[in-house]
Amino acid sequence: MRWTSDKVVAAVRAGQSFDGESLEALDLRGRDLRGANFAAARITGCDLSDANLTGANLKQALISSVRLRGSLLDCVDLTEAVMSMVDASQIAAKEAKLVGLRAPGLLLSGADLQGADLTGALLIGAALEKVNLSKATLVETKLDATKLEGADFSDSKMERVSFAKASARGARFDRASITKAVFAAADFSETTFDGARIEEAAFTMTDLRGVKLPKHMVRCVLDGAKIKTDLQGADLSGSELPDLDLSGADLEGANLSFTVLRGANLRGACLRGANLERSILDGCDLRDADLSGARLGGAILDHANLSGQDLSGLEMLLGDFAGANLSGANLRGAKLELVSLRDANLEGADLTRANFDSVNLAGAKLAGAKLDGLVFRKVDFGGVDLDGVSLRGLSLPLSSFTGAKLAGADFSTCDLSCADFSNADLTGAKFGGAKLDKACFKAAILQKADLGDVDARGAFFGEADLRQARLVESRLRYATFSGATLDDANLTKADLRDTICTGMTAERAKLGGVKMAFADLSHAIVRDAEFGGADLTHANLHELVADRATLAGATLTGARQTDLERRDAERFVPKHATK
């Protein structure tokens, strides 16, 4: 049957189905086709401008070279329909069902699609300027390279929608729910997202200039995006914002926890009260940024530029400033625990009354830093450059200086309880009045060091080089000097009771008035040493080499001389059996 316009209208009124029919070159402008059933119909070259197709069924219809401009399509069903070269601009299609619609290049400018369902629709390259898609549902919808200038997506629900290379300048996404959408290389400048919730969206290389990003923007990627600098209170937690220029940005109160800001320019940015916990800020420029009240626990700031930054009062549990530039920074009263400052530049920094607990300072530069009242606990100073730094009077318990070069360092009156100076170079260092109980100086170089009047009970000096060191009146009870070298050292009136000095060398040492009761000097070498007035009560002098040593006035009550049987056993060399 060859269809005419009038026959079509009559058939629609009669409730006749056009399922599978072909309608070609018909003029149906302004005609009443409400409720028509065009399912699976082939509609080609027809003009349906201003027609009323409210509630029509166009499921799986093939529509090509058709004009629908200005027509009424409210509640129309276009599920899995295919459109090509169709002008549907200015249509009214509220609550329309466009599920699985295939319509690349479709003209929909100015259309009203409020509440429409575009799940799975493919509209690549379509013209959607000023289209109304408020309250619409868009799931896995393809809007790549579409024109969306001035479009309204307010209150819409979007999931896995692709806007790649779309142009949406001035569009509205107010209160929209956007999840896993792709905005790559798109122009979204001057768009609005007031009250929107965006999660796991990708804005890679997207133009967002003039956009005020919503407060809720979680786990998003903004790599290379161009954005506005007003992000006050925004929730960008878990998002990826590397290499962005956020200089001078207002991020006051923003949630940036777990956010990747690697290499971002945050110079002069306002981060007052911002949540930066566990964020990645490595390589960022944070000079002149306002970080007052910001939370930085667990943040990674390695190689970040914080030169001159005001971090006074900062409280940080876990964090990484490795290689960061903190020169001239204000860290007065800061509390850092389990933080790495490895290789960081702290030259000229103010660390007055700061508290560093379990902090790694290995390789850090502290020249010119102010350390008054600073408390160090379990801090690693390995390889730290302390040239010109005064540590006098500081609290440094449990700290590690393993292998550090500390020649001439001033540790006078410091608390160095349980500190580790193994293999450190402490030539000429000053420890006068310091607390060194249970400190470890294994194989350390302490030549000409001043350890006078120190409290080093239980300290370990095994294999240390203490030549010409001064230990006058030092409290060294229970200390260990096994294998240590104390040639020409001055230990006058030192308390060496119960010490282990086996194999120690102390030639020409001054030991006048020392207390060495119960000390173990077996195999020690004290040639030419002076023991005048020394108390060696019950000391173990087994195999002591004391040639020309002065023992005038020394007390040797109960001292044990060389045990011949032990000596023979020590010298015994088993004869190997021969064939």
478-508: per-residue pLDDT in tens?
Answer: 999 999 999 999 999 999 999 999 999 999 9
Using the predicted structure, report yes or no on whether residue 386 has a pLDDT greater than 80. no
Q: For 40-64, what is each residue's pLDDT tens digit?
A: 999 999 999 999 999 999 999 999 9
Identify the bridge partners of residue 395 per DSSP, sorted by sequence position.
Answer: 375, 415
Cβ–Cβ under 8 Å, residues 219 and 236: no
pLDDT at 491: 98
Confidence of residue 576 (pLDDT cuts 50, 70, 90): confident
C-alpha to C-alpha distance for 59 and 496, rounded to whole angstroms: 99
**Please, how many CA atoms are within 13 Å of residue 540, restricted to the half-sphere of its CB?**
17
The confidence score (pLDDT) of residue 249 equals 84
Question: What is the residue whose two structure tokens read 């009136």?
Answer: 493
Give the pLDDT confidence of 340-383 residue by residue, as tens digits: 999 999 999 999 999 999 999 988 998 889 998 999 999 888 77
CA angle 317/321/325 to nearest 5° reads: 140
**pLDDT reported for residue 302:** 96
pLDDT band (50, 70, 90) for residue 97: very high
The token duo for 298 is 């667990």
What pLDDT is stored for residue 267 in this prediction? 93
Lowest mean pLDDT segment, chosen from 214-223, 260-269, 274-283, 405-414: 214-223
Q: Where are the beta strands (DSSP E) in 78-154?
A: 82-84, 137-139
Evaluate if residue 385 carries a pLDDT over 80. Answer: no
Question: Could you tell me the residue ranges of all domains in the chain?
Answer: 98-226, 390-579
The full length of the chain comes to 579
Percent of the chain past pLDDT 90, that is, above it, reads 81
pLDDT at 79 over 80: yes
Tokens in use for 431?
């420890």
Q: Write the Ramachandran bin of 55: left for phi over 0, alpha for psi from -120 to 50, otherwise beta.
A: left
Per-residue pLDDT tens over the stretch 293-308: 999 999 999 999 999 9
Strand ordering across the sheet containing 375-377? 315-320, 335-340, 355-357, 375-377
Q: To which residue do tokens 């060496």 refer?
A: 496
Written as six digits, the tokens of 137 are 């549902």
| pLDDT at 579 > cutoff 60 | no
The model's confidence at residue 229, banded by pLDDT at 50, 70 and 90, is low
Judged by average pLDDT, the poorest of 227-241, 278-292, 405-419, 463-477 is 227-241
How confident is the model over 24-34, as pLDDT tens digits?
Answer: 999 999 999 99
In the prediction, which pLDDT does 182 show? 97
User: Residues 115-151: pLDDT tens digits?
Assistant: 999 999 999 999 999 999 999 999 999 999 999 999 9
Instruction: State the chain's mean pLDDT as an integer.
Output: 94
Residue 528 confidence (pLDDT) above 90: yes
Residue 171, pLDDT > 70, answer yes
- Would you state the pLDDT for residue 442? 98
Task: Return the amino acid letter for 64.
Answer: S
Q: Kindly tell me if the per-residue pLDDT of 388 is higher than 70.
A: no
Determine contact, residues 354/335, Cβ cutoff 8 Å: yes
The CATH classification of domain 98-226, taken from the options 2.40.30.10, 2.160.20.80, 2.40.128.110, 3.40.50.620: 2.160.20.80
Q: What is the DSSP letter of 100?
A: T
Tell me the CATH number for domain 390-579. 2.160.20.80
Q: Which pair of structure tokens corresponds to residue 107?
A: 């003209």
In this prediction, residue 387 has a pLDDT band, given cuts at 50, 70 and 90, of low
Mean pLDDT of the region 269-294: 95
Q: What burial class does residue 503 get, using C-beta atoms within 10 Å of its C-beta: 0-12 exposed, 13-18 middle, 19+ buried?
A: middle
pLDDT of 381 reads 85
